[in-house]
Structure 1
Amino acid sequence: MILVIARKELRSLFATPMGWLILAIFQAIAGTYYSLSFNQYFEIMQSAQWQVQRIGITQFMAEGVFGVATVLMLFVVPLVTMKLISEERKNQTMTFLMSAPLSMSELILGKLLGIISYLSLLIFSMTLMIVLMRPLAEIDLPYLLTHALGLWLLMVASSALGLYVSCLTATPILAAFCSLVALAACLLLDKFFTDNQQALFYDFSLMQHYRQFASGMLNSFDILFFVLFATFFVLLSIRRLHADRLYD
């Protein structure tokens, strides 16, 4: 049942102009940064006089392409998650879902899986762009895949947050705005506590854990953080729908 819901959610994204428009804009911006980073790399390397001043093309390209992707995700995730549950409430079809022979866990996980599948296409396409440079340059695949994994985990955690916010309102636009604010806060928590890296909220910053992957470090603690972050908001979403089923 989870896969059925996920396929339905994925088809609904590609059945609307918004799904294709987001994909096209994302690819256009990522492709532009890809081209700019490629040209900029060789310009910088030609002016580097010492070997220590030189960096690998994989790191340079990934920082440019994945860096802009991180910013784009801040806007893309709220847009694709805002309708997951709030539109069901708005169209008054939530009652049918509540009475359907499926658990709230299946509903939430199915919708989340559909969104993750859609966003994974964006990450895969960016990773593929850099991999396709292999005939022209030596690509550090372990570093690239580690960086891509970090961005994917960041996307999963952000989608879980957006899904929960969508469960709280019947207005998709309001859900998108609240998701944007909440996601921005979670990404930038470490910026508010730069003077005290031991502060509790410093370790809850999504960007702080993502940076470890961006530097090529595969840390089990950072993976666990993203998994627990996503699980927390998935459980909150399930609990919210259970409450609606009980009191409706």
Structure 2
Amino acid sequence: MIFTIARKEFRSLFAAPSTWWMLALMQFLFAWFFFVRIDDYLQVQAQLTQLANAPGSTIAVASPLYSALALMLMLLIPLFTMRLIAEERRNRTWVLLLTAPVSVTHIVLGKFLGLMLLLVLIVAGSAIMLVTLLLGTHADLGLMLANILGVLLLSASYAALGLYFSALSKQPVIAAIGALGMSFGLWLLELSASDNRSFLRAISPNAHFQNLNMGLVNSADLIYFMLFTATLLWLTIRQLNDERRSS
């Protein structure tokens, strides 16, 4: 049942014209950033050859691009998650889904998985663009894979956060604003933290993504993302279970 719901959500996301417009805009911005970073790297390549430990193209091009992609996804994902539950409430179809012989856990996980399939396609599209670096230089595949993993984990965190706010609200716009505001607040925690070991930085998803962005894959960051995502999914399931019992 989870995969049935996921397939339905995935198709409904692609059926919306707004999805295509957002994907086109995002791909355009990512391609523009890509060519700008390539141009900047080529302009300083002569100076870099004189350095003993000069940064490679992956650090100079791929890492900043994935940082930009992470920021774009933070802005984009709430626009997708607001449709998962809040818009169904507005369209009066959520009651039918709650009264169906399907557990709330299956509903939440199915919607989450459906959105993640779309996000995987977005990340895959960006990865294919960066693979072109292999045509003209020796790219660090390990660093690229760490960045891909980091963006996917960060996307899952934002998706779970947006899904929770979508479960709290009956208005899609309010759900999107709430999720975006919380995501932006967590992002600011990482920027405002003066110490790398501070508590504020430790609870920011972006801070853990920065480690993967630099190619540092450690268990603490992976566990954080899994706990962050699982906690928000559990809160969403609990919220909807309470709503089902009260209806």
Q: TM-score, normalised by structure 2?
A: 0.96
Cα drift, residue 51 of structure 1: 2.1
Displacement of 1:191: 2.6
Partner of 1:158: 158
Matched residue, 2:218: 219
Corresponding residue number in structure 2 for 1:238: 237
Q: Tell me, in whole angstroms, the C-alpha distance in 1 between the residues paired with 2:169 and 2:158.
A: 18
Q: Residue in 1 aligned with 2:51?
A: 51
Preserved contact between residue 188 and residue 206 of structure 1 (Cα < 8 Å): no
2:143 equivalent in structure 1: 143
Normalising by structure 1, we get a TM-score of 0.95
Partner of 2:4: 4
Please say if residues 188 and 207 of structure 1, whose CA atoms lie closer than 8 Å, have aligned partners that are also in contact: no
Query: What residue number does 2:228 align with?
Result: 229
Unaligned 5+ runs, structure 1: none
**Residue identity in the other structure for 2:245:** L
For residues 220 and 149 of structure 1, the distance between their equivalents in structure 2, rounded to whole angstroms, comes to 13
Give CA deviations for 1:191-237 in whole Å, capped at 9, x if unaligned: 3332x555433310111111110110111110000000000000000
> Which runs of structure 1 show a deviation greater than 3 angstroms over 4 or more consecutive aligned residues?
196-199
1:33-112 residue pairs with structure 2 within 5 A?
A: 33-48=33-48, 50-52=50-52, 54-112=54-112
Counterpart residue number, 2:179: 179
Q: 2:48–2:55: 8 Å Cα contact kept in structure 1? A: no
Moved more, 14-23 or 185-194: 185-194
Matched with 1:190 is 190
Partner SS for 1:133 = helix
Matched residue of 2:133: which SS? coil
CA distance in 2, matches of 1:27, 1:199: 35
**How many residues are aligned here?**
247
Q: What do you get for the CA RMSD once the two structures are aligned?
A: 1.4
* Counterpart contact for 1:70–1:151, Cα < 8 Å: yes
Deviations 1:22-74 (A, max 9, x none): 11011100011111111111111123363236211111111232122122112
Give the letter aligned to residue 51 of structure 2. Answer: Q
The one-letter amino acid paired with 1:70 is A
Identity %: 32
Deviation of the 1:136 alpha carbon: 1.3
Contact map agreement 1:157 1:226 (CA 8 A) in 2: yes
**Structure 2 CA distance for aligned equivalents of residues 36 and 55 of structure 1:** 17
1:188 alignment partner, SS class:
helix
